[in-house]
Structure 1
Amino acid sequence: RIPRKAFIDSDPAFTQLAIAKAEPWYVEFFRAFDRLFTFGANVGTPMSPIPIGAFTWHKTWQPITLEDWRSNATPRDRFTTVMTWKIESFTDVGGNKDREFMKYIDLPSRTRQPFELAVNGPQELLREHGWETVDAMAASRTPWDYRDFIHRSKAEFGVAKHTYVATCSGWFSDRTECYLASGRPALVQDTGWTAHLPSGEGLIAFSDPEGAIAGIDRINSDYARHARRAEEIAREHFDAGRVLSRLIEEACA
C-alpha cells in the first residue's frame, strides 16, 4: 500500500472543468489522492474563475534538471517553439492553442525577426503568413532532438491554449522552462503567471500582438543580458532540487 498518494495536474482549468461536470467515476478518482498539485498557479485563488469544488489544489512547477540543458551552442537567428495546434482530449471543456495563435498569425509581417515553428498544425497556412515551419515530431522525436532544437533557437515565442488564458490559470510551460535553462530568452503569452514569476528580462510576457512586438525588440536590443537572466530565472524557480523538495514536503504534510 502506498501511504501517501499525490496527483500532479499538468492541464490546469481543463482538469478542474472536467471534474465540475461531476461524473462520479472522475470525482472518485481524485478523491483517492492525499494531495493534489497543479501547474496552474492561480487555481483556487481570486485571480481565476476555475471551479475547484471540494478539492484543494497545491501549486508546483515542472522540475528541470539544469545540468542537462546548459548549452554552448551558437543559436540561429530564429524565435521558435514546439507546439501542438489542437489537442483531441478535453474537447468539451475548453479551447485549444489554435484559437489563441490566430490572434498572432500576422506577426511575421510586422517585424523583421524570423520565426520557426515545430508544429503539427496547418503548415501551409502558417507559411503563407510568413512563419517557417518544421514537423513537430521530427523536432521532438527523442529528448536529444528536442534539446537540440531548443539549443539552436535564439529565443522562444510561445502562445498558450485558449483555456489557460481565458481562465487566468497561471499555467507556465515546461517547454519554456527548458528554453530558460538553456540560456534562451522566452517571450510567452501571459496566462496569469506574471503574478508569480518575474517578467521583463530573460522572460517577457505579452497579451496582444503589440506586446509581442515590443518583447521581440526588447530581447534583440540586449540579447546577452536577456540570455543570462533567462538562465538565472530557471535556476531560481525551476531547479529540480528545489521544486521536488517542496513538493515532497507538501505531499507528506
Structure 2
Amino acid sequence: MRIVVAGMLSLPPFSPGTAWDRLQYVLGLRSLAHEVLFVEEVESAWCRDRGGRQCPYERSVNRERFHRTMADFGLLDRSCQLYEDGRATAGLGLSELTKALQGADLLINISGHAKSELVLGGVQRRAYLDQDPVYTQLWVAEYGADLGLNHHDVLFTVGTNIGTEASDIPTTGLRWHHTLPPVALDHWTATEPASGRFTTVASWGRYGDLNYRGRSFRGKQSEFRRFADLPRRSGREFEVALANAGDHPEDASRIEQGGWTIRDAATLADLEAYRRHLAASRAEIGITKGAYVEGRAGWIGDRSCHYLASARPVLLQSTGIEHTVPAGRGLLTFSDLDEAIEGVEAIERDHAAHCRAARELAEEFFDARRVLTDLVETAMEAESIHVEAGR
C-alpha cells in the first residue's frame, strides 16, 4: 500500500523524542513493505534560527533539522517539508510531492497535523491519530474546538480507555479506535542493565488546564509537585531532563528540594544522544499529565515504550493503562507517593528480571509490525467516525 504519514517533527526547540515517535510510524510501515511518504507542514511563524529568533524558512533550524533527520534515515526521497502550502519545500519538490500524494491509499495524520488541501485531497482515506487523549475529546465536547475530525474517515487514539466504561470522558458521538505507540524494535537495542538513575524527559507542557463538570484536568507541573519528595523518600537518584524549567522556576525549585536532579533537555538535542540516555538509565520514572490520570485515559507515552524496548523498566503513574498492558513486571504503575516508593523498591529487588520483562513487553505489545498492521487494517475497513448516540 501507499501510505502517507503526516506529523510535526522539527518545531523548535527540537524534541528528539517527538522525532523518534514520528519515525516509528515511517520505519515500522516500511518494514511491512508499504510505500511510505512522510510530510511535515511548516508555517512562517514557526521558523527560527539557531538563536531562537524568527527567520526566513531557508535559514531556519526547522529546515535544517528536517533535512538532517530524513537524510540520516535515507528518507530524503520519500519525505517533504511543505512550507506555507508549497512556497518552498525540503526533501521532495512540490511537483514530486503532488505526484507522490496522488491516489495514495491512506493518510495517517498525527494530531491532525496536515491541514493543506494538497495533502488531504490527494489521498483516498484519512486517519486522524490522537496523541493527546482527554485533551482532544474535551476540546471538542466542552470547548467547541474544530480539530478537523470530520475531514477524516477514521479516528484513532492512544487513549485505550476512551469510549469505554473505564473512562467517563465524553466522545460526543464519535467512534475512537484504540492503538498503542509503535516501536520499530530494530532501532532500540536491549543493552545490559545500567546502574544509573531513574530518569525521564519532560516539559511542563503547552496546554492550559481544562475543566469539565466541576473537575480539573491539569498538566504535568501539578503532578511533579505531588511526587517532588520521591527521591528523598525512596533514597534513590532521580533525574528529569526538562525542556523549559526556567518558565516555572518555583516548580523547578520545589522538585530540586525533594532531591530531583534537573538536566537541561537541550543536552539531548539529537536522536542518538536521546537513545543513549534512555539506555544508560536505571529505569524510567513516568510522571504524566494530570489530565491523563483524572480522565483514566489508558495512556502510555511513546517515550515509555522506547524505554521498554531498550530493556529499561518503566515506573509509570497510573492512567488506567493496566486495562490494556499488564503491570507488575517491566511496567509498574502507581497512584500516590507510597505506591511509587513501593515500585522503586520492587524494581531494585530484581532489576535484571524487570529489564528482561521490559523488553518482552515491548515485543509483545508495541512491536510496530503488529501495532501498525492492526492500525492499517482498521483504517481501511472502518465505515464511519460516528456512532448512533454520543455519551
Question: TM class by shorter-chain length?
Answer: over 0.9
Q: What is aligned with 1:3?
A: 124
Contact 2:190-2:359 within 8 A present in 1 as well: no
Q: What is aligned with 2:270?
A: 142
Kindly indicate whether residue 282 of structure 2 is the aligned counterpart of residue 124 of structure 1. Answer: no
TM-superposed CA distance for 1:127, in Å, is 1.9
Aligned equivalent of 1:161, options 279, 289, 299: 289
Q: What is aligned with 1:221?
A: 349
TM-superposed CA distance for 1:100, in Å, is 1.3
Q: What is aligned with 1:114?
A: 237
Kindly indicate whether residue 141 of structure 2 is the aligned counterpart of residue 20 of structure 1. Answer: yes
In 2: Cα distance, 1:66 partner to 1:143 partner: 15
Find the structure with the greater CA-based Rg. Answer: 2
Q: How does 1:68-83 map to 2 (within 5 A)?
A: 68-72=187-191, 75-83=194-202
Query: Which amino acid is the alignment partner of residue 114 of structure 1?
Result: E
Most deviating of 187-196 and 70-79 = 70-79
In 2: Cα distance, 1:92 partner to 1:226 partner: 36
Residues 6-48 of structure 1 show CA distances to partners (whole Å, capped at 9, x for unaligned) of 000000000010111463x716x11111100000000001111
TM-superposed CA distance for 1:129, in Å, is 1.7
TM-superposed CA distance for 1:89, in Å, is 3.1
In 2: Cα distance, 1:74 partner to 1:59 partner: 32
TM-score by length of 1: 0.94
Query: Which amino acid is the alignment partner of residue 241 of structure 1?
Result: R
TM-score by length of 2: 0.61
Residues 1:8 and 1:83: Cα distance change in structure 2 (over 3 Å): same
> What RMSD, in angstroms, separates the aligned Cα atoms of the two structures?
1.5
TM-superposed CA distance for 1:128, in Å, is 2.0
Aligned equivalent of 2:178, options 59, 62, 68: 59
Q: What is aligned with 1:103?
A: 226
Partner SS state of residue 37, structure 1:
strand
Aligned equivalent of 2:304, options 145, 159, 176: 176
Contact 2:224-2:255 within 8 A present in 1 as well: no
TM-superposed CA distance for 1:137, in Å, is 2.5
Contact 1:73-1:152 within 8 A present in 2 as well: no
**Which has the bigger relative contact order, CA under 8 A and spacing at least 6?**
1
Q: Which runs of 5+ in 1 are unaligned?
A: none
In 2: Cα distance, 1:80 partner to 1:100 partner: 16
TM-superposed CA distance for 1:73, in Å, is 5.7
Aligned equivalent of 1:247, options 375, 384, 389: 375
Q: Kindly indicate which of the two structures has a greater share of residues assigned to strand.
A: 2
TM-superposed CA distance for 1:91, in Å, is 4.5
TM-superposed CA distance for 1:184, in Å, is 0.3
TM-superposed CA distance for 1:92, in Å, is 4.5
Q: What is aligned with 1:185?
A: 313
Contact 2:188-2:306 within 8 A present in 1 as well: yes
Residues 1:209 and 1:10: Cα distance change in structure 2 (over 3 Å): same
In 1: Cα distance, 2:335 partner to 2:142 partner: 30
